[in-house]
Amino acid sequence: MIGYVTVGTNDLERAAKFYDTVTAVVGGKRGMAMDRFISWVGPEGGPMLMAMKPFDGNAATVGNGVMVAFSADSREQVDAIYKAAIAAGGADEGAPGERGPGVYAGYFRDLDGNKLNAIKFG
């Protein structure tokens, strides 16, 4: 159903290093790239994550209420994604833990302030 999700960036090189680190934890690798964006795709294809400079030329800003979630295979992988994000310069938005029955997640922001999380259902 979803083809791709974008997060805005004002520094594509910096965003690329951050997302190279974080997506590697879930087997992600770079996909398409152009002068305004870089994408990452999971090991089995599917929806892409793209870091992109805004098309209108204005500064990228954070969308209030917008969040991208990385699907994890285990609680340990949630922990690893979260730790990779923080080690790559991301900001803590809620350490990994129970978020309700059968939901384990950790929240963080990338270097441009976009909110993300790693989540394991079940």
- Checking if the pLDDT of 22 tops 90, the result is yes
C-alpha count within 13 angstroms, C-beta hemisphere, residue 48: 14
Is residue 72 included in any domain, yes or no?
yes
Q: Print the domain residue range for 31.
A: 4-54+66-121
Q: Confidence class of residue 2 from pLDDT cuts 50, 70 and 90?
A: confident
Q: Which CATH number do you get for residue 88? A: 3.10.180.10
φ, ψ dihedrals at 55, nearest 5°: -60, -35
pTM for this prediction: 0.92
pLDDT tens for residues 31-60?
999 999 999 999 998 899 999 999 999 999
Is residue 114 included in any domain, yes or no?
yes
Is residue 88 included in any domain, yes or no?
yes
Is residue 87 included in any domain, yes or no?
yes
The per-residue pLDDT for 60 is 95
The per-residue pLDDT for 41 is 97
* CB distance 59 to 68 below 8 Å: no
Total domain count, the chain: 1
The per-residue pLDDT for 46 is 87
Averaged confidence pLDDT in the chain: 96
The CA distances from residue 98 to 69, 71, 72, 92, in Å, are 15, 15, 14, 16
Is residue 110 included in any domain, yes or no?
yes
- Checking if the pLDDT of 1 tops 90, the result is no
Is residue 61 included in any domain, yes or no?
no
Alpha-carbon gap, residue 50 to 10, rounded angstroms: 13
Is residue 30 included in any domain, yes or no?
yes
Number of other residues whose CB lies within 10 A of the CB of residue 66: 13
pLDDT tens for residues 60-107?
999 988 999 999 999 999 999 999 999 999 999 999 999 999 999 999
